[in-house]
Amino acid sequence: MEDIPDDESWTDWFQRYGPKLLLCARQWTRSLADAEDVVQEAFVRFWRHQRGLGGEPQALLFTSVRRAAIDLARRNSRRSAREEHADGGLESTEPLFETPLEGDDRRAAIESALRQLPVEQREVLVLKIWGELTFDQIAAQLGIPPNTAASRYRYALGALRETLTAADCHG
């Protein structure tokens, strides 16, 4: 991704990259509403204070989204535990992807397979595919070696392939 042009408005930039950021934020939050709040907070923080920093803008923004999600989790840990207990975890079944077709079985199978992945693999997969980050950028963001990021990505793809193949055979 190129640098943000000086004449590009924040709304244009947000409209272009917001959906990817929301999908990534969804991996670190309990609900779609929390993910939307995290993306908004991170984007405002980025646009006001970080977009002039050196480095690739999209990678900086994904780092900001992840940090905002961690901050939200810390602030709301007790409340989240109470709500999850009270609602039986219903929000965790919200769709990860928007789809024009209700009842899309393939989308549901993919979402289910994604939720079965270990968190470490899922966040690398999402940052790589939807965040379009390199393994070096993912490694820097997660504080792991690039080879570990690449391995987690390979393991995640293998697990998804296995789960989806099994679902296709049994469904």
Residue of 146 and 106 predicted with greater confidence: 146
User: Does the structure show a pLDDT above 60 at 89?
Assistant: no
Got the DSSP string for 83-151? HHHHHTTGGGGS-SS--SSTT-HHHHHHHHHHHHS-HHHHHHHHHHHTS---HHHHHHHHTS-HHHHHH
Q: How many residues belong to the chain? A: 171
What the chain holds in terms of domains, given with CATH numbers, is 1-94 (1.10.1740), 101-171 (1.10.10.10)
The per-residue pLDDT for range 112-146, each reduced to its tens digit, is 888 888 989 988 998 888 888 899 989 988 889 99
| Model confidence, pTM | 0.60
For residues 38 and 71, give the distance between their C-alpha atoms in angstroms, rounded to a whole number: 9
User: Does the structure show a pLDDT above 60 at 161?
Assistant: yes
